[in-house]
Structure 1
Amino acid sequence: MDCWGVLAGVAAGQHGLVAVWQVEEVGIARQLLVRRVAEQGWHRVVRGVYLLPGMALTPLARVKAVDLALAGRGLASHRTAAFVWGLRKQFTRPMEFVVPPHCTMRVQDAHIRRLARVLEGDGAHHAGVAVTAPARTICTLSGVSSVAELVDDLATAHRLRLVTPASVRRVAEASARFAGQGRLREALERVDRQLNHSQLERLGRQLLAGIPLSPHPQPFVVADEGGFVAEIDIAFPDYRVGVPIDGPHHFEPDQKRADDDQRHRLHLLEWLLVPADEMRLRHQPQVFVRQVIQALKKKGWSQ
């Protein structure tokens, strides 16, 4: 394989991009690169980084372009890292990166912060991009986000199994002072209350382990004509019996209205629901199990 073939292979693994320093590493002279860029119409994304013809300039490709321009000296961070990890769906610009204090590089369309110690053990690779690890990402987000946004980030990271709130707390407590530390602390306290919901789900599953019918192993997503209807915490899909777990936040007015709307839609789809809260699960477990069995029998199950 010639040098250009090697370069194409490199580009294939990094969103169709190549950096000038990579071109030189495979033995291609810079003047040959200049000629190839002109002849084939390579697109310059940022200084020193090109997108090969026929490749799409996606948001991740833009992030990777900055990553390549920094040549291993930086990590995508803050909102950019949140996008890479899937914590947030919105791709924001300028992109955000962190580098060590001694690094003086600047890159077009990138906001580069110089932070001490953030690169020590906090780096990871995801989607082909050098990025702050999930816990550090949330810590950096605290400086540019509201408490409500951080609560969403923590819950999403937990749902995606990227990192637990407890791990984020450990990283935050082991760090020197950083922007938004108080907001992150408040967000963690809120999430601790909400994730009690997960503990209640586990308790509900443990209580139902004694009946000879296993629920779906995970929260079950109900869809109608391809559209999302609801996610039921504990479900028996074959019988359309579900157990929604009402944690503390389910008693807030907005959440209660959303729950009522979802349960109405589930009723129209012939789901029979047995709502359960902490009082029922912890203090009336036999009543809870009996209610679930009765609902299953009503829907045709026989022991």
Structure 2
Amino acid sequence: MHRSHLTGVFVGSQAIADGFITPRQLRERSYRRLVQGVYADPALEFDHRLRCTGVALVLPPGTAIGGHSAAAWHGAPFAAPHDPVTVVRPPDVEWKGPRGVRVHRTTLAAGDVEQRDGVPVTSSLRTAWDLASIEPRGTAVAALDAMVRAGSLTREALTSMAGLGSGRWGVTRVREAVPLVDPRAESAPGSRVRVALVSDGLAPVPQYEVRSAGSFVARVDLAFPEARLAVEYDGAHHFVENQIRADDARLRRLEAAGWRVIRLSATDLRDLDAVVARVRAALAGMSR
């Protein structure tokens, strides 16, 4: 007997075989397809973790959700809903995965995988390694910043991991990323901008409190205190009317305290070299 509506996440062919739904109902109802053959109740919030949950239903034994996808369980939910789901598999498991899944072949040691919400996910430390070795540096550091801030990792554990990884695949990239981790960062875009600036030899201070005559003025994303230069990232919520007024008032307070502010948006993040050049030009202007 068929149910009127399936809830949760399910494999379509299995639900049909078990008599929970007919092929016609699967086609005609508004179930959300997560990846090929896997569906979800449309009432569920559609985010990257939901897609990972769907992929987990078709994973072969010995594999796990990893990297940028696993980071969502460790305090860094930055992967977008439609970003590829990262899966790690040992060399003896042959599996390419459906479209929308990125499979990384690697060795998985005992303790590298744990169950989270019924999903096999790499541990926080293993996730950190894969992030640093697979992802672009800015993306990796942003996730590691958040994981340390969330308490899933410590900087000491990351440093130890990098030091013990000699001869391991990706160790050079890991050792380049780990020193850049700073849990003071409070947003992924802010981390990416900081990494670009630091990689170019600059030294911005994250989440700096600007004070004037002993009074608090504002806390800025990135600061060059000696130059009184702030770099701020304006996310989508900054373009809501009430927030625009609050941001304008905050900017006036910073300017009255003698600070200049470079404001960045999502468009600016597409060309971080240009952002670095803009910051360098502002700093050079102060030195003349």
Indicate the TM-score class for this superposition, using the shorter chain for normalisation: 0.5 to 0.7
Report SS of the residue matched to 2:120.
strand
Paired position in structure 2 for 1:185: 175
Matched, 1:30 2:21: no
Paired position in structure 2 for 1:154: 144
Report SS of the residue matched to 1:130.
strand
Shift of 1:87: 2.4
Report SS of the residue matched to 1:89.
coil
User: 2:2, 2:163 → 1: CA distance?
Assistant: 49
User: 1:49, 1:157 → 2: CA distance?
Assistant: 29
Contact 2:88-2:106 at 8 Å conserved across structures: yes
User: 2:133, 2:68 → 1: CA distance?
Assistant: 10
Percent of aligned pairs with the same residue?
22
Larger radius of gyration: 1
Pick from 92, 96, 112 the counterpart of residue 122 of structure 1: 112
Q: Deviations over 1:80-108 (max 9, x none)?
A: 22345442524263321002222223321
Letter aligned with residue 18 of structure 1 = F
Paired position in structure 2 for 1:74: 63
CA RMSD of aligned residues (A): 4.7
Matched, 1:112 2:103: yes
User: 1:258, 1:126 → 2: CA distance?
Assistant: 39
Paired position in structure 1 for 2:240: none
Shift of 1:51: 2.1
Q: Deviations over 1:110-129 (max 9, x none)?
A: 111221125x2122344654
Contact 2:124-2:153 at 8 Å conserved across structures: yes
Contact 2:62-2:89 at 8 Å conserved across structures: yes
Paired position in structure 2 for 1:17: 9
Paired position in structure 2 for 1:94: 84
Pick from 157, 167, 191 the counterpart of residue 157 of structure 2: 167
Pick from 48, 58, 66 the counterpart of residue 47 of structure 2: 58
- For structure 1, the residue ranges without an aligned partner over 5 or more in a row are 24-28, 199-229, 273-303
Report SS of the residue matched to 2:114.
strand
Report SS of the residue matched to 2:230.
helix
Report SS of the residue matched to 1:162.
coil
Scaled by the length of structure 1, what TM-score is found?
0.52
CA 1:157 to 1:52, structure 2 compared with 1: closer, same or farther past 3 Å? Answer: closer
Report SS of the residue matched to 1:143.
helix
Shift of 1:67: 1.1
Report SS of the residue matched to 1:87.
coil
Matched, 1:39 2:30: no
Aligned residues: 214
Shift of 1:130: 2.6
Contact 1:76-1:131 at 8 Å conserved across structures: yes
User: 1:99, 1:155 → 2: CA distance?
Assistant: 26
Contact 1:232-1:243 at 8 Å conserved across structures: no
Deviating more after overlay: 150-159 vs 134-143: 150-159
CA 1:98 to 1:66, structure 2 compared with 1: closer, same or farther past 3 Å? Answer: same
User: 2:179, 2:123 → 1: CA distance?
Assistant: 22
Deviating more after overlay: 35-44 vs 165-174: 35-44
User: 1:149, 1:166 → 2: CA distance?
Assistant: 20
Q: How does 1:105-254 map to 2 (within 5 A)?
A: 105-108=95-98, 109-118=100-109, 120-126=110-116, 129-175=119-165, 177-191=167-181, 251=224
Shift of 1:21: 8.9
Contact 2:66-2:88 at 8 Å conserved across structures: yes
User: 1:244, 1:52 → 2: CA distance?
Assistant: 44
User: 2:253, 2:12 → 1: CA distance?
Assistant: 60
User: 1:139, 1:265 → 2: CA distance?
Assistant: 39
Q: Deviations over 1:180-210 (max 9, x none)?
A: 322321332344xx67x89xxxxxxxxxxxx
